[in-house]
Amino acid sequence: MTAPSAQYTHGHHESVLRSHSWRTAQNSCAYLLSSLAPDMHILDVGCGPGTITADLARLVPQGHVTGIEHGAPDVLQQARAAAVAQGVTNITYALGDVLALDFPDAAFDVVHAHQVLQHVADPVRALREMARVAKPGGIVAVRDTDFAAMTWHPDDAGISLWRETHRQVARANGGEPDAGRRLLSWALEAGLAREQITASASTWCYSTPEEVAWWSSTWSQRVLSSEFASGALQHGFVTQEALDGMSQGWKAWGSQPDAWFAVLHGEILCKV
């Protein structure tokens, strides 16, 4: 059976990778960390520039972590170089597709995906594949953002338009931007047992002047230069003038002394 496809909404512009490289195991998969043991073998799906992946490898020094990314060899090369620079040796990077994982059944103690299922055309199939390659008694761990639940202050019309446009583009690309609230439902549809699933939520919150400046800077660039921008224009959702307004909105928000932004994530921890 041919796997359904979806286009990655963000792409791999420098501003996107700069944002993704901020992520660590501590700020992006804290819900999983207490379940790890030093000798585990972990699959990190959608590893991107590999900052979470390398952190996980450090937490399983007698084990091994495999990071896979779909269709982005340059990003994987960046991840490999970072691992070498950091002296992390128990790690392997490869191209891979969560809808058709190129691993045997029961290959990993933990199968992890951070902000991946929102970009997948068939998240239920993805979860079935993740469960297939997890060992009996192993863990499938997924965390995904929920764009509709993002909240910020002060209000800004440019940021509000960005969020609604992002949701339009993501769905036109075949994904689901409000994935966080749906993870439990998708896991049940994938056949995972309810009594073996822990569902939770956590946030990123940008509130200090340094955090606000960084967050607003990355997004003011992303709305103009990433695949989101070209997708929004190609689908006819907005004009270039509107994109410029979104960028200015991010800059204006970031200049406010009371600027605050919260990103809600849904999480599921599933025993297989």
Given a cut of 80, is residue 58 above it in pLDDT?
yes
Question: 């979806």: which residue's tokens?
Answer: 6
- Mean pLDDT, range 184-189, rounded to an integer: 98
Q: Each residue of 123-178: pLDDT tens digit? A: 999 999 999 999 999 999 999 999 999 999 999 999 999 999 999 999 999 999 99
Q: HSE-up of 258 (CA within 13 Å, CB side)?
A: 4
Note the pLDDT of residue 137.
Answer: 97
- Mean pLDDT, range 225-248, rounded to an integer: 96
- Distance (Å, whole) CA 41 – CA 62: 9
**Pick the residue with more confidence: 14 or 270?**
270
Q: Each residue of 85-105: pLDDT tens digit? A: 999 999 999 999 999 999 999
Note the pLDDT of residue 19.
Answer: 80
Note the pLDDT of residue 21.
Answer: 83
Given a cut of 70, is residue 1 above it in pLDDT?
no
Amino acid occupying residue 114: H
Residue 200 neighbours by CB under 8 Å, 6+ apart: 31, 266, 267, 268, 269
> Using 50, 70 and 90 to split pLDDT, how confident is the model at 2?
low
Note the pLDDT of residue 138.
Answer: 98
Q: Which CATH number fits the domain 14-271, given the four candidates 3.40.50.1360, 2.40.50.140, 2.60.40.1120, 3.40.50.150?
A: 3.40.50.150
233 exposure class (CB count in 10 Å sphere: 0-12, 13-18, 19+): middle
Given a cut of 90, is residue 199 above it in pLDDT?
yes
Note the pLDDT of residue 6.
Answer: 77
Note the pLDDT of residue 9.
Answer: 86
> Using 50, 70 and 90 to split pLDDT, how confident is the model at 4?
low
